[in-house]
Amino acid sequence: MKQIEKREKFDMKFTEGLQVVEDYTEEAAIKEQLKVNEQLVEEITTLFLKDEVEKFGFKKVALTISGGVDSAVVLEFAVRAFGEENVYAVFLPHSDVTSKLSFECVEHLRDKFPKVNWIELDVKPIVERFETLIGLETNRSNSEKLRRGNITARVRMTVLFDIASANEAVVLGGSNKTELLLGYATWYGDMAAAIYPVGDLYKTQVFQMARYFKTPQKIIDRTPTAELWIDQEDEAELGIGYEVLDQILFEWIDLRRKPRQLYEKYGQELVNKVVKMVKQASFKRNMPLIPKYSLRTIGFEFRMPRDVGV
């Protein structure tokens, strides 16, 4: 009861830089603080998408649909911003890898948004041709599994960008904040996009939005997976559950606590592991390095805003 009252008081205040009350350092409180105002997120994201895409001179958007929660929520935002008929939802299963569950989840989305332009294409023949040409034997070792997964992601990217180009649509990516921080995505694969509509939402916040949007329950209930190989599961592969992961990231990044302040609560090993992953993925969140020696180098003295002249 006391917690709820305090939470209400907390709600009334400006949260930025606020010294959090003692009780709120507890796990339940952090979980509570991670919750977003869904209506506000819906309103701001929808408006942002509309404004930016219009500014680029486009009316339509394209995105890949995987049957997972991230792409489903991006689809929800896209439909709200542009209307179903202006959205290209591209489902690119690999018929050997993509599970029956994923097909079912996509089917539910199709039922929900029947007027969206749905495109489905099995990428298996393309991926296999790739593998043969570069001499990659499938499923032999973990590193080959990873190479194969990355090839699949980049094949999907190529197909998606072609569809977007053919239909004059802007590519939306499905990367969320947790994924971008950890680098748990394929560089120039599923990360390739003009806009990340859920890039400032942690994975658990994406789930919160999915529940708010009444996204098909099957999608909300399923275990998160990148599905780049059979039986891959995010949380097993990362070695940490999304709930705890998001709490660590939120406390470290959003609340600016030092990693060692989190040792007691989450364990030193786990905290350091997360911090290391975020550091190692830094390259994925930045543009490629350029050696600086001219008078005005891109990224140093030359800093032109992205939205200029559009």
Partner 1 sequence: MRVAVAQIKPYLADVEKNLKKHISFIKEAKKRGAELVVFPELSLTGYDLRDMVFEVALPLESDELSELKKVSKEEDISIVVGFIEESVEYKFHIASAYIEDGKILHVHRKAYLPTYGMFEEQRYAARGNRIKAFNTKFGRMAILICEDMWHPSAAYVAVCDGAVYLLAVACSPSKGVYTPKLASSDIWENFIRTYSELYGVYTIFSNRVGTENGLIFWGGSEVHSPLGNVKKASYFEEELLITDADIDDVRVARINLPIFRDERLDMTLRELQRIVAQREKLEGFVNFIDVLKKHF
Nearest CA-CA partner of 215 in 71, 81, 87: 71
Taking CB under 8 A as the binding criterion, the range among 19-27, 37-45, 277-285, 287-295 that sits at the site for partner 1 is 37-45
Is 283 in a helix, a strand, or coil? Answer: helix
Applying CB under 8 A, does 33 fall inside the site for partner 1?
yes
Strand bridging mode 60-65 / 87-91: parallel
Phi, psi dihedral angles at 195 (to 5 degrees):
-140, 140
| Residue 36 is a binding residue for partner 1 (CB under 8 A) | yes
- For position 288 contacting partner 1 by CB under 8 A, the verdict is no
Among 43, 85, 120, 237, binds partner 1 (CB under 8 A): 43
CB closer to partner 1, 133 vs 295: 295
| Rounded CA separation 273/275 (Å) | 6
Q: Using the rule CB under 8 A, which residue among 2, 4, 13, 57 binds partner 1?
A: 13
- Own/partner long-range contacts of 235-242 (Cβ < 8 Å, ≥24 apart): 238/182, 238/184, 238/277, 239/273, 240/270, 240/273, 240/274, 242/178, 242/203, 242/204
Show contacts with partner 1 in window 53-112 (CB under 8 A): 55
Q: Which listed residue (1, 40, 287, 289) binds partner 1 by CB under 8 A? A: 40
Of 3, 11, 132, 217, which one interacts with partner 1 (CB under 8 A)?
A: 11
52 lies in the site for partner 1, by CB under 8 A: yes
The rounded radius of gyration (Å) of the Cα atoms in the chain is 21
Residues lying near partner 1 in the complex (CB under 8 A): 11-16, 33, 35-37, 40-41, 43-44, 47-48, 51-52, 55, 301-310
